[in-house]
Structure 1
Amino acid sequence: MNTFKKYLGIVWIALAMVVAYFAIGIFGGKLTSGKQDDLVFGIIIFFILLPLVVTGLTIFGWYAITDEYED
């Protein structure tokens, strides 16, 4: 079970990278579209939601890799 947790930790960290890449690719156009609605939505995604999601997935994966959940 511990090796399974470690593999899932790697999956969570990889998922964090994929989420960051696609969010920047998809929502990057929202910041430069020129419409105010898109700009507000892009700012919320980039500066509030994206860091929370990526940081959460990365920390969760790191804890799974380093066996922090054993205690």
Structure 2
Amino acid sequence: MNAIKKLLGIVWIGLGLAAGYYLLINQAIPKFESGKPEDMIPAIIYTFILSPIIVGGLGIFGYYSLTGEYSDN
């Protein structure tokens, strides 16, 4: 079971990186490039608030899983 938890730690880290990439590339950058004032606020929120929370949270969860913090011992 602990081996599965460590494997899933890698999955969580990869999922965090993929979510951050998607959020920045597909959501934030097109809104920055549109130049409309109503698109700037969501772009700033995506870039400076949501991305660090999502990537950091999933990354830390995956790191703890890899290091054995959730082991059964």
Residue 12 of structure 1, CA deviation: 0.2
Query: Can you give the 5+ residue segments of structure 1 that lack an aligned partner in the other structure?
Result: none
The list of structure 1 runs, each at least 4 consecutive aligned residues, that deviate by more than 6 angstroms after superposition, is none
How many residue pairs align between the two structures? 71
Q: Supply the AA of the counterpart residue of 1:36.
A: P
Alignment match, 1:18: 18
Q: TM-score, normalised by structure 2?
A: 0.90
Give the aligned partner of residue 3 of structure 1: 3
Q: Is the 8 A contact 1:16 1:53 kept in 2?
A: yes
Give the Cα–Cα distance (whole angstroms) in 2 for the partners of residues 53 and 25 of structure 1.
Answer: 15
Alignment of 1:1-71 (within 5 A): 1-27=1-27, 28-70=29-71
Find the residue that maps to 1:69 and give its secondary structure. coil
Q: Distance in 1 between matches of 2:38 and 2:66?
A: 40
How large is the RMSD of aligned CA atoms in angstroms?
1.1
> Percent of counterpart pairs with the same letter?
46
Q: Tell me how far 1:68 sits from its aligned partner.
A: 1.1
- SS of the residue corresponding to residue 51 of structure 2 reads helix
The alpha carbon displacement at 1:36 in A equals 1.0
Q: CA deviation at 1:31?
A: 1.1
